């Protein structure tokens, strides 16, 4: 009976690692231009990717690899009902969008939008990957 128990534990661990591996890249459509760290990024498809150690997240324009930015990431809460990808933006009264944070599965960026904005700012979220 013990060898069979070990096999189930090994199979569960293997399935978990496969699921985690599958969550290292997601493509999302951002329907508006946005800013991050003083640079403007065009609306369009972006690949959000974790490196093999899951310590660095990269956001790259799907069609133009020159539009790319990367951050160190930390663990994040991720439940069974959570979308695989969550991108949060601050939306100012002037219509501009500043990227606030990205969470891909169990990893998240720090708060990226540190500029002071109007009190009228609101959050815009894009989710995907399910």
Walking along the chain (130 residues) 10 residues at a time, the average pLDDT comes out as 41 41 80 90 95 93 92 92 90 85 94 61 59
DSSP 30: E
Which residues, in sequence order, are CB contacts of 66 under 8 Å at separation 6+? none
In a domain, 86, yes or no: yes
In a domain, 15, yes or no: no
In a domain, 91, yes or no: yes
Tell me, what's the pLDDT at 112?
A: 87
Tell me, what's the pLDDT at 115?
A: 59
Tell me, what's the pLDDT at 50?
A: 95
Tell me, what's the pLDDT at 6?
A: 39
- Based on the structure, what is the number of domains in the chain? 1
Tell me, what's the pLDDT at 79?
A: 87
In a domain, 98, yes or no: yes
In a domain, 8, yes or no: no
CA dist 109 and 78 (Å) reads: 14
In a domain, 114, yes or no: yes
- Residue range of the domain that includes 106: 24-128
Tell me, what's the pLDDT at 47?
A: 96
In a domain, 9, yes or no: no
In a domain, 10, yes or no: no
Residue 99 contacts residue 34 (beta carbons within 8 Å):
yes
């Amino acid at each position: 009976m013990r060898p069979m128990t070990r096999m189930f534990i090994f199979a569960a661990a293997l399935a978990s690692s496969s699921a985690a591996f599958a969550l290292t890249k997601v493509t999302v459509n951002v329907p508006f231009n946005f800013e991050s760290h003083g640079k403007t990024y065009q609306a369009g498809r972006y690949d959000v990717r974790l490196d093999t150690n899951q310590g660095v997240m990269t956001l790259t324009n799907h069609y133009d690899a020159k539009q790319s930015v990367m951050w160190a990431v930390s663990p994040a809460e991720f439940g069974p009902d959570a979308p695989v990808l969550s991108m949060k933006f601050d939306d100012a009264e002037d219509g501009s969008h500043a990227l606030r944070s990205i969470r891909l599965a169990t990893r998240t960026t720090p708060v990226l939008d540190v500029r002071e904005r109007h009190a009228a700012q609101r959050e815009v979220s894009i989710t995907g990957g399910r």
